[in-house]
Structures are given as C-alpha cells and as structure tokens.
C-alpha cells in the first residue's frame, strides 16, 4: 500500500470512528 | 372516528439502532466489495466519499425529517406522509404508494436470500459445505450453491425450503411483537453482535498469511491498498461516479420508505439531525471499515495480488462473493468452520434487521389507515408475503428474482428518492424544510446542506436516473435484456411478463386500499398523544 493510500485510509477510518463515537456519546448523554 | 394510539420507540438509541440495522444489510458486506473491486485498484473510494456527502447524507436527513413530520399527522407510511406535505395535492398519496410497494416487493425475495445465510451458517458448523483442496476449485462451491438454490440437480431443495420457512417465521414473530417489543429489542441485540462478529472477521483477515508458494505481495495490507491507493486518472470515468453514487444510495436504505416509517414513530420535538447522522455513520463504519477489510484483502491473499483477478471476483456478483469465494477462503485458514459460521451468521443478522424494517411500512399502513390491530396487520402481511414469495423461490432460474430486484431495489427507490427530495426541498419549501429538519435538533447541519438538498442532490439523482434509464433500464423494461445487461432468454419472457403483471396488480391493490382509507378518514387521523396541535396549526 502506498503512503498516500495509508493516509487516505487512516483519515477515512479515523474520521468515521471519531464521528461515530461523538454522535453516540452526544446521543447517549441525551438518552432517556 | 376512534382515537388512534401510536406506537413509539422505547429509547432514543433504539431508533438509531433500528435504522442502522435497516441500512446495514447484505448489501454492505456483499454489494460494496463487489462494486469497489469491479473498477480496479484505487478507483472507487474518492467518488464514494463525494457521493456520501452530496447524495447520501442529505437524503438521510430528508427522510428522517419527512417521516417525523408525517408521524405528527398519525401517518407512518408513504401515502399519508406524502399527503401531509401538501394536503391539497390529493394525488400525492398515490405517489406515496411507492414507499409501501417497493419494500413489499423487496421482502418477497430478500427473506429467501436471508434464509440462505441461515442455512449456510448451520452448514458451516456441521461441516456440510463441500471441502475443496484449494481456491482454484471454486466450481465445486458454485455447484453446491446452485444445488442449494435448486438451479442444478443433486441438492436437497426441501432443506432450502425449510430454512426459508424458519427465516420467514422468525421475521413474522419479531414483527408480531411490535415496534418496541420486537423490532427494537432484536436490533438492540443483533447490531452490537454483528459489529463484534465483523471486527473478529476483519482482524482475522488482516492477520492472514498467504499460502507458502504465493507471491510475497499477496498480503492483506496490499489488499487494503487495492481499495485505498488512489488512481486519480480513473476519476475521469463517469461510470465509477455513478456506481459510487448508486452504492451510497442503496447502502443507506434511502428512497424505499423504511426511514420514513421508522422516524414517524418519533415525537415531534425529537432530534433528527444527530439521529440521522449517527445511523448513517454507523452504516458507513460497517461498510467501509468492516466489509472493506474482509473480502478484498482476503481475496488478495488467497487469489494473488493480480488486479485482474480481483476485478474478476468482484464482477462475479454479490452471491458468488458471499457464498462461493468466502467459504473457499475460510476453508484455507485454521478454524475455518468457526470463521465460516461467523461470516454467514453475521450476514443473517444483517439480513434480519433489514427484512423486519422493510415489512414495517405495509404493517404500519394497515395499523394507521384502517385502525387494524398489530396482530391483524401482521397476519395479513404474513399471508400476502408467503404467497408472493413463492415465485422468487420456485422460478429463480427464469430470472424472476432479478426482475423483482430491478423494479423494487433499483427503479422504484431511485425514483422515490428523487420525488422525496423534490417534495421536501421544493413543495414543502426549502426554508420551512430547513426549519422542520432542525426542530429539536441536538446539532446543526452545515448550511451548505440546505443548498445541496434544494439543488445538487435532486440534480444528481435526476442524472443517475436518466443515465441508468438510457444505458440499461430501458432495455430491461422492454424485455430486451435482463438487469445484468445480458439478452433476455426467450424461455424466460413469459415468467418475466407474469412477474410484471403480478407487480402491477399489487400496485393497483395498494392504490385502491389508499383510496378506500382516505374515503374513510379523509386523510386526518386523530392520535392520542400529540400531533393534534400541529394538525390544527396547519388547518388554520
């Protein structure tokens, strides 16, 4: 895998994971 | 008129898991790798990301907002929700029939495919999947799959049918227990289990070592490179952009009416921006991170680091990838029976959380518009679906399932999504729509999405619809070719014609039911909890 491939993949995976954790945390803190 | 008691979700997380469960289906694990691999290395992910932002997320927000809005009027299915957007445009409720018809038709074959995953997961545990010496013996596995589906002699089709019956009964039982007691409970357990299984499989694949004689470049990381390295020259190919948009579209379950129905059970001040985004991101995680780390890297290790080979596997279609390629690979690794079981049972969980969701619009239609009890609505659905599922099972070799899939999972949902976004951005009005989207919102959507919803996404969808219609669909509609673009065999034509007559009759039947329901209640349902205030405000 090329370096740009690594960067793209890690940004994509990292972005998705961060967003998922953020959304779930915000949702759970508000959950009834 | 009697006061209608609406079902509600048990928890705010419950609806997110249910919508995510609906979106995370067989397509995430089978269709995505097929599409991502088909166009060669480094081609797919950039168009896919762009399509996710331009088409996927706006459509998800539109459906969540439309569904919640319709729910305030006591409607949980397409006809009532579409009518609520513009009560004076009486034809809208008939256009909304598509949002019941599409999922209903998908259910007629989806439940059967789901039953294959249950059958194969049990076969994996019992060691009933034929053993092959190497991945080159794929023909044995293909023959087994064809025998299982009754396409070749030699298998035990009665067993296949028993697995279908078991799957069908499981689905109906979950539906019988209702939104909170059935769907929500199942998704609360199935979704986390599915994620754990997916993570175990991805870790297993990413730590695979190639067989002794293999090329040293045959590593799972290079397999990931097939997906993630960028070949910018390929971005000039419009087909890849269309395929990426199509995949985003199918994976998020937009356009078919399921999100409309699920979000209609929210309360009027419940958030939809954060909920919609969470469900979309959970679906993307399952697709890009988990599914993207399983099939292509595994194929790279066992079939060799040759792009043409990976493209050939990807082009063999979703069923061959799932039921031929993956069992072949798992037989080459230690504890292959266990990993084979994990793979097929994960697909089964993905399948069931989706199939129960596509059943709900029809059931909700009877509950809301005819005031039927849950039990009665599920019974009608079960009886109808059992009958309508038979053609896809018994006439598979005549292309009936492909034709059903073409109409319901391609034509109707692209058209449905285009209509939805036009209704929301233009008929409802973009300012009012933006305000509706943000009522009770826990986060604010970037304002650029207002522009996307009004102009860019509808244009993008219109282009997709136009190009697909011109390139392929028109030939399918006039029965020149099958949905794969191959000439339609003359022997299949009577069966395809019969299928279409059945679909036409079904569409007319639902339209008549809508007509009767509106004669009965005039489009207004009094609900016991809330919504009346909004209805009165509208009536002024």
Q: Is residue B401 part of a domain?
A: yes
pLDDT tens column, B243-272: 898 899 889 989 899 999 999 999 999 999
In the predicted model, is pLDDT for residue B309 greater than 50? yes
Q: Is residue B28 part of a domain?
A: yes
Report the length, in residues, of chain B: 540
Residue in A closest to B9 by C-alpha: A32
Structural domain for B485, as ranges:
12-539
In the predicted model, is pLDDT for residue B215 greater than 60? yes
B465 and chain A in contact, CB less than 8 A: no
Residue B28's pLDDT is what?
Answer: 93
Q: Look at the alpha carbons of B283, B289, B55, B429 in this order and tell me if their dihedral is positive or negative.
A: positive
Residue B531's pLDDT is what?
Answer: 44
> With contact defined as beta carbons under 8 Å apart, do B28 and B286 qualify?
yes
> In the structure, what pLDDT confidence band is assigned to residue B321 with cuts at 50, 70 and 90?
very high
**Weakest-pLDDT range from B108-122, B147-161, B185-199:** B147-161
Closest residue to A12, CB basis, from B221, B271, B288: B288
In the predicted model, is pLDDT for residue B91 greater than 90? yes
Residue B535's pLDDT is what?
Answer: 46
In the predicted model, is pLDDT for residue B444 greater than 90? yes
All residues of chain A having their beta carbon less than 8 Å from the beta carbon of residue B228 are: 1, 5-6, 8-9, 12
Q: Is residue B2 part of a domain?
A: no
Q: Is residue B6 part of a domain?
A: no
- Average pLDDT over every residue of B203-228: 86
Residue B136's pLDDT is what?
Answer: 75
pLDDT tens column, B410-422: 899 899 999 999 9
Return the exposure string of B450-464: e unless at least 16 CB atoms fall within 10 Å of the residue's CB, then b: bebbbebbbebbeeb
> With contact defined as beta carbons under 8 Å apart, do B348 and B164 qualify?
no
> In the structure, what pLDDT confidence band is assigned to residue B354 with cuts at 50, 70 and 90?
very high
Q: How many CB atoms lie within 10 A of CB B46?
A: 18
In the predicted model, is pLDDT for residue A5 greater than 50? yes
**Weakest-pLDDT range from B18-22, B103-107, B115-119, B216-220:** B216-220
B274 and chain A in contact, CB less than 8 A: yes
How far is B394 from A25, CA to CA, in rounded Å?
47
Q: Which of A3, A16, A27 to mutate to test the interface with B (most CBs of B within 10 A)?
A: A27
Residue in B closest to A11 by C-alpha: B228
Q: pTM of this prediction?
A: 0.93
Residue in B closest to A21 by C-alpha: B278
Residue B3's pLDDT is what?
Answer: 58
Average pLDDT, chain B: 91
- On the 0-12 / 13-18 / 19+ scale of CB atoms within 10 A, B334 is exposed
Q: Look at the alpha carbons of B202, B204, B207, B212 in this order and tell me if their dihedral is positive or negative.
A: negative
User: In chain B, how many domains are there?
Assistant: 1
In the predicted model, is pLDDT for residue B88 greater than 60? yes
A8 and chain B in contact, CB less than 8 A: yes
CATH of the domain at B206: 1.20.1740
pLDDT tens column, B216-240: 788 999 999 999 999 999 898 888 9
Closest residue to A27, CB basis, from B228, B278, B284: B278
Closest residue to A23, CB basis, from B45, B225, B278: B278
Q: Is residue B138 part of a domain?
A: yes
Name every residue whose Cβ is closer than 8 Å to that of residue B434 and which is 6 or more positions away in sequence: B450
Alpha helices, H only, B395-492: 400-406, 412-422, 430-438, 448-451, 457-468, 474-477
Q: Is residue B4 part of a domain?
A: no
Q: What percent of chain B has pLDDT over 90?
A: 75
- Cβ pair B230:A23 closer than 8 A: no
Residue among B181, B248, B202 nearest B10 (CA): B181
Helix B493-521 with B374-394: angle, nearest 10 deg: 170
- Cβ pair B225:A1 closer than 8 A: yes
- Average pLDDT over every residue of B511-540: 69
All residues of chain B having their beta carbon less than 8 Å from the beta carbon of residue A19 are: 277, 281
> How many angstroms away from the CA of B11 is the closest CA of chain A?
6
Residue in A closest to B20 by C-alpha: A20
Q: Is residue B113 part of a domain?
A: yes
Residue in A closest to B220 by C-alpha: A1
Residues paired with B487 in a beta bridge: B481
Return the exposure string of B389-416: e unless at least 16 CB atoms fall within 10 Å of the residue's CB, then b: bebbbebbbbbbbbbbbbbbbbbbbbbb
pLDDT tens column, B29-55: 999 999 999 888 888 999 999 999 999
How far is B15 from B3, CA to CA, in rounded Å?
25
How far is B98 from B96, CA to CA, in rounded Å?
5
Q: Is residue B69 part of a domain?
A: yes
In the predicted model, is pLDDT for residue B127 greater than 50? yes
């Amino acid at each position: 895998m090329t370096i740009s491939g690594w960067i793209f993949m890690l940004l994509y995976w990292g972005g998705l994971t961060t967003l998922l954790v953020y959304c779930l945390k915000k949702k759970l803190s508000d959950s009834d | 008129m009697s006061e209608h008691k609406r079902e509600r979700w048990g928890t705010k997380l419950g609806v997110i898991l249910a919508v995510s469960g609906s979106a995370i289906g067989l397509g995430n694990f089978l269709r995505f790798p097929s599409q991502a691999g088909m166009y060669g290395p480094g081609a797919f992910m950039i168009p896919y990301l762009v399509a996710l932002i331009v088409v996927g997320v706006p459509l998800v927000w539109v459906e969540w907002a439309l569904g919640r809005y319709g729910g305030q009027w006591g409607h949980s299915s397409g006809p009532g929700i579409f009518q609520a957007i513009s009560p004076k445009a009486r034809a809208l409720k008939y256009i909304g029939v598509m949002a019941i018809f599409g999922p209903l038709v998908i259910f007629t074959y989806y439940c059967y495919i789901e039953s294959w995953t249950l059958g194969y997961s049990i076969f994996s545990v019992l060691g009933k999947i034929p053993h092959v010496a190497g991945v080159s013996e794929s023909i044995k596995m293909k023959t087994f799959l064809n025998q299982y589906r009754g396409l070749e002699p030699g298998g035990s089709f009665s067993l296949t049918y028993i697995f279908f019956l078991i799957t069908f009964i499981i689905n109906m039982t979950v539906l019988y227990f209702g939104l909170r007691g059935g769907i929500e409970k199942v998704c609360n357990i199935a979704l986390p289990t599915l994620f754990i299984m997916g993570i175990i499989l991805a870790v297993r694949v990413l730590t695979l070592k190639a067989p002794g004689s293999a090329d040293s470049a045959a590593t799972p990381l290079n397999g990931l490179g097939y997906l993630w390295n960028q070949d910018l020259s390929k971005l000039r190919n419009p087909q890849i952009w269309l395929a990426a948009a199509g995949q985003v579209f199918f994976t998020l379950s937009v356009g078919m009416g399921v999100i409309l129905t699920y979000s209609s059970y929210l309360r009027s001040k419940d958030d939809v921006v954060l909920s919609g985004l969470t469900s979309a991101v959970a679906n993307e995680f399952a697709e890009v991170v988990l599914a993207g780390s399983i099939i292509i890297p595994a194929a790279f290790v066992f079939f060799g680091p040759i792009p043409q080979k990976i493209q050939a596997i990807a082009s063999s279609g979703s069923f061959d990838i799932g039921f031929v390629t993956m069992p072949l690979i798992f037989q080459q690794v230690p504890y292959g029976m266990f990993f084979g079981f994990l793979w097929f049972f994960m697909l089964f969980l993905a399948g069931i959380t989706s199939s129960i969701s596509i059943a709900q619009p029809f059931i909700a239609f009877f509950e809301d518009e005819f005031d039927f009890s849950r039990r009665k609505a599920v019974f009608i659905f079960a009886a109808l679906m059992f009958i309508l599922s038979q053609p896809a099972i018994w006439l598979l070799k005549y292309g009936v399932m492909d034709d059903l899939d073409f109409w319901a999972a391609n034509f109707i949902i692209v058209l449905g999504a285009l209509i939805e976004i036009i209704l929301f951005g233009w008929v409802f009005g973009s300012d009012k729509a933006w305000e509706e989207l943000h009522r009770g919102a826990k986060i604010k959507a970037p304002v650029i999405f207002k522009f996307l919803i009004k102009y860019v996404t509808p244009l993008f969808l219109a282009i997709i619809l136009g190009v697909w219609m011109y390139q392929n669909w028109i030939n399918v509609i006039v029965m020149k070719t099958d949905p794969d673009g191959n000439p339609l065999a003359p022997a299949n034509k009577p069966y395809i014609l019969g299928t279409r007559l059945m679909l036409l009759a079904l569409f007319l039947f639902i339209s008549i039911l809508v007509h009767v329901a509106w004669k009965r209640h005039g489009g207004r349902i009094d609900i016991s909890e809330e919504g009346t205030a909004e209805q009165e405000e509208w009536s002024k």
